[in-house]
Amino acid sequence: MSHDHDDRPRLTPAQAEAALAPPPGRTGGDLVVETLRGLGATTVFGLPGQHALGIFDALRRSSLSYVGLRVENNAGFAADAYGRITGEVAPLLLSTGPGALTSLAALQEAAAASAPVLAISSQVPTAGLGGGRHGYLHELRDQKASFRDVVKSVHTVRTASQIPSAIAAAWESALTAPHGPVWIEIPQDVLVSGTTLPPVSAIDATPRELYPRPELTLAAARLLSRAERPVIIAGGGVVRSDASGKLRALAEKLDAPVVTTFGGKGAFPWEHPLSLRSWLEDRHTTDFLESADVLLVVGSGLGELSSNYHTFSPRGRVIQIEADAGKLESNHPALGIHSDAREALADLLDAVETREDPTAATRVRTLLEQVRARIDAQDLTLEQRVLASVREALPDTAPSFWDMTILAYWAWSAFDARHPNTMHSAQGAGGLGYAFPAALGAAAADPGRPVLAVSGDGGAMYSLAELATARQYDLPVTWLIVDDGGYGILREYMTDAFGEATATELARPDFVALAGSFGVPGVRTSPEALAADLAKALAEPGPSVVVLPAQLRMFAPTHL
């Protein structure tokens, strides 16, 4: 058997010399940072802890840039955003036990949103592995068991020589479609012990490409080419795979209207004549989708939010393109194509026949007029004005990050994300506290442009400690806090369901004064002044806080 060695990593003369005579004073922690650097990492996020100090000491000898947050969950949200914005793996450095477990909610969001996060946790010393009760600090019987149901893959390292391969395998897993978080744990003694292994200088972790099967592409192309009323639902997979251009080309070739899911915001131009926008919680949109004779679903599992709370029942044929095999046909029978969205759209674009439908744009306009009339009948002028002010103030290419708050729920349906991969929210897992630390991660990825975070006062309380992080690293994040004195959406839900709300009202700080105590400028604004105050804050360097006292309401649901 012959082997082709041409694609193997090669050492430079300097690297070869270092391999023959490794520099002294290196530890397992150095192998971690050397491997990350060799794989292409430039920035890492995290929080130090006693068992993980070997990694953090090695950072001192590394060219990696470190962004330290104040809470592990927030560090996870920052890494999540870095992964979404760059499409690159975001290393997240954590300690054992409580430190590791505190990151779980962030890793769940990364999994739901397909963000490539590489969580590297320390472990108790090697002698404590295996489930015995040795009484080590932070000890768990099986730490990785807490993460196995959340992340894509888990990896346990037991010796220093396993570190580079384990990190490379996890890196490859994180970047294989669908992207997602992965977990590695390394014992404390392995991280701090000296090593004579050569420096890690040549390492490869190429993710596997996920191509569609050609017979499925041809079957889908035939259905779409012969359809009378084709419609496309574009989900987060289109954004994650950078396939927005191919989506637009396919929609125009088929004259097919496109609706974007909340995770797919920005995947299709908002003002395009074929754009149904994102009104997925509107029954007019649901009816329109149900009337399609062929429905192409790209990068979405048609879950609860994307199916108007499971009231959507398609009457035509469904074609579903999805990189996560577990989502294929999980909610509706379909011609299921297990593929990365970009690859599948490229093949479909070549295979479909051009069709013209002079009624398509008219039907889209009619639907949007119906939606507009329904919203206008509900006396929601304040809410629409606030959202319009945010859109006016935010530069078109500036990323925005939205917490689970009423203004974000409006934004899912009504906000024009003018570029792909610029609007992000925690709607995947639905946890509070996402927006501000995520915005910090995005700013670390590209400190040359402003970033907006949007929270309610309840969600903001999860992230106040990160005002210190924003100030320490001077990150250009403007934090809009809509202060309504409680958990606003839960207040609405409980009042509607039970007649009154319980446990939704909150004592909260003076957010402007609090920001000032961190050295972060803040301003209290009004709906009338919001656009100007927000634009000013976004234009100034460094972090800032804008507080809007307002009680916003949701538009009426249509799924009940």
pLDDT band at 57 (very low <50, low <70, confident <90, very high): very high
Task: Report pLDDT for 204.
Answer: 85
Give me the mean pLDDT over the 317-337 stretch: 97
Check residue 25 and report its DSSP letter.
Answer: T
- Return the pLDDT at 3: 44
pTM of the model: 0.95
Whether the predicted pLDDT of 5 surpasses 60 = no
DSSP 224-285: HHH-SSEEEEE-HHHHHTT-HHHHHHHHHHHT--EEE-STTTTSS-TTSTTEEET-TTSHHH
Please tell me the predicted confidence (pLDDT) of residue 381: 97
- φ and ψ at 482, to 5 degrees? -90, 110
Using alpha carbons, list the distances in angstroms from residue 49 to 72, 315, 316. 10, 55, 55
8 Å CB contact between 508 and 457:
yes
Cβ–Cβ under 8 Å, residues 69 and 75: yes
Residue 294 DSSP symbol: E
Nearby residues of 32 by Cβ (< 8 Å), 6 or more positions away: 55, 58, 120, 163, 167, 186, 191
pLDDT of residue 128: 80
Query: What end-to-end distance do the CA atoms of the chain give, in Å?
Result: 65
Q: What is the pLDDT of residue 17?
A: 67
Q: Report, as an integer, the average pLDDT of 218-235.
A: 98
Compute the average pLDDT of residues 475-492: 96
Using pLDDT thresholds of 50, 70 and 90, give the confidence band for residue 34.
very high
The pLDDT of residue 243 is 97
The answer for residues whose C-beta is within 8 angstroms of residue 246's C-beta and 6 or more apart is 342, 345, 346, 349
Q: What is the pLDDT of residues 343-386, one digit of tens each?
A: 999 999 999 999 999 999 999 999 999 999 999 999 999 999 99
pLDDT(284) > 70: yes
Band (560; pLDDT cuts 50, 70, 90)? confident
Among 100-109, 136-145, 276-285, the minimum mean pLDDT is found in 136-145
Asked whether residue 14 carries a pLDDT value surpassing 80, the answer given is: no
* CB burial of residue 455 (10 Å; 0-12, 13-18, 19+): buried
State pLDDT tens for residues 76-110: 999 999 999 999 999 999 999 999 999 999 999 99
Say if strands 544-549 and 182-187 run parallel, antiparallel, or are unpaired.
unpaired
The pLDDT value given to residue 359? 97
Cis omega (within 30 of 0) for bond into 187: no
pLDDT at 9 over 80: no
CA-wise closest residue to 327 among 338, 342, 343, 313: 338
List, for residues 297-321, the tens digit of each pLDDT value: 999 999 998 999 999 999 999 999 9
Separation of alpha carbons 282 and 270, rounded Å: 17
335 pLDDT above the threshold of 90? yes
At residue 223 the predicted structure's pLDDT band, cuts being 50, 70 and 90, is very high
Could you tell me how far CA 285 lies from the centroid of its own chain?
25
| Mean predicted confidence (pLDDT) in 395-409 | 97
H or E segment and range at residue 118: strand 117-123
Spell out where 398-437 has E strands: 400-402, 423-425
| Three-state SS annotation for 471-518 | HHHCCCEEEEEEECCECHHHHHHHHHHHCCCCCCECCCCCHHHHHHHC
